[in-house]
Structure 1
């Protein structure tokens, strides 16, 4: 999951860490704890959805793809 970032620094590191932790099975609670977030909602800003994990439970789009 290599992403090219225009900016560098702490935000890039934290975002990459959260995304990789999520991809490796960590819960959002675990990620928030590592990143020291007080509110769970804050973690959502760093952790993107793991589409690979959602694919098996996804349902077809009603009416098919257009």
Structure 2
């Protein structure tokens, strides 16, 4: 899917979230990355192969 240089990390890479943004729909709560990953506002992800990555947002705690 990625056609620019240097290429974005693949959907299987640990740093897949650093791929370029292709489409953003904040009103719907998701964005499409260059590597085919759907990134949701709760930090969950849907990979191109259908694998679901659970949200991994860090919770804020009171000091």
Q: TM-score range by the shorter chain?
A: under 0.3
Q: TM-score, normalised by structure 1?
A: 0.27
Q: Which has the higher helix share?
A: 1
Whichever of the two has the greater Rg, that structure is 1
Q: Which has the higher strand share?
A: 2
Q: TM-score, normalised by structure 2?
A: 0.27
